[in-house]
Amino acid sequence: MIDYNPKAWFTFIFRIHKADTVRKLFPMFIAIGCYSAVVALLELKVLHLSDIAEWKNIVFVHSVLGFVISLLLVFRTNTAYDRWWEGRRLWGTLVNNSRNLALKLNAMVPASNTASRDFFRIMIPNYAFALKNHLRNKYLPEELEQGPGMEIDEKKHVPNQIAGQIIAHVNDLYRKQQITGEQLIILNDELQAFTDVCGACERIRNTPIPFSYSVFIKKFIFFYVMTLPFGYVFTVGFLIIPIVVFIFYVLASLELIAEEIEDPFGFDANDLPTDTISANIRKHVAEIL
């Protein structure tokens, strides 16, 4: 995720960063600029279509379609941002849940039971790192701190395995009468929340925007921009070239931004800082336990 000062907005105009859509779309700018130049040359210098009054009425069609495409892009961007923000809320829940579980275990588990305290100090942050990599379809054992009796099968659901080991250890403490039944019930909400957060994140990752909807918007933008020179060249002349390029930049950038943030758990510049969040969980749990 990009760290920036939202108040220093003037510097954004001249700043080029990894997620800048200009670099991604630059080849298309060249192609569309050349296309617009050819259309303008044919209409103004070769075919003289400006003499046909009916041909100029195509501007009305673009006015109506421009309103429709703006509504579609607003809905598309809002939907993608909702997914990004829900992902951030879920990881905030994971942070709070990890701290709460560590605080309760610190109060309930006897200080003399250093083995159990060390186990929870290791395994609670391990869940955050395992979930982060699980959402990226990766398994990085070097990020997991090794604990006593910890066994992970990378071919299976790693976060579930870690959560299962944490729950099993808590129940083992209950069987050994180091925590009471009431304390076990109190811990249950935090233990269950791990799986709830994981399932909600998987829902976001595994449920993209419907294919037909995404394809329709791209086609709509393409054909809308490709037909712009035919209607506006009579009004602005060869200035239609930079105008069409700029309109394409605005419309296509909104679609690219929506594509980037609709899956907020990856490596894109605007994705959630799950690496930092996981490291903070490890730091805070270690301080508590």
| 1 domain-assigned | no
Asked if residue 105 and residue 38 are part of one domain, the reply reads no
Instruction: Mark whether 125 and 213 lie in a shared domain.
Output: no
Whole-angstrom Cα distance, residue 142 to residue 137?
A: 16
Q: Considering only CA atoms, which of 254, 217, 274, 72 is closest in space to residue 262?
A: 254
User: Are 170 and 233 members of one domain?
Assistant: no
- Distance in Å from the first CA to the final CA of the chain: 29
Cβ pair 162, 127 in contact under 8 A:
yes
Q: Is residue 226 part of a domain?
A: yes
| Mean pLDDT score across all residues of the chain | 86
For residue 45, the 8-state DSSP code is I
Both 278 and 148 in one domain: the answer is: yes
Whether residue 41 is contained in a domain is answered as yes
Do 164 and 235 lie in a common domain? no
Residues 148, 32 share a domain: no
pLDDT tens, position by position, 80-131: 999 999 999 999 999 999 999 999 999 999 989 999 999 999 999 999 999 9
Please report whether residue 232 resides in a domain: yes
Do 173 and 123 belong together in one domain? yes
In tens, the pLDDT along 128-173 reads: 999 999 999 999 999 999 877 788 888 899 999 999 999 999 999 9
Whether residues 99 and 197 fall in one domain: yes
Q: Which domain holds residue 253?
A: 22-46+55-83+209-261
Helices (H), ranges, 42-179: 53-56, 58-108, 114-135, 158-175
In a domain, 9, yes or no: no
- Cα(42)–Cα(40) distance, rounded to whole angstroms? 5
Total domain count for the chain? 2
* Domain match, 145 and 281 both: yes
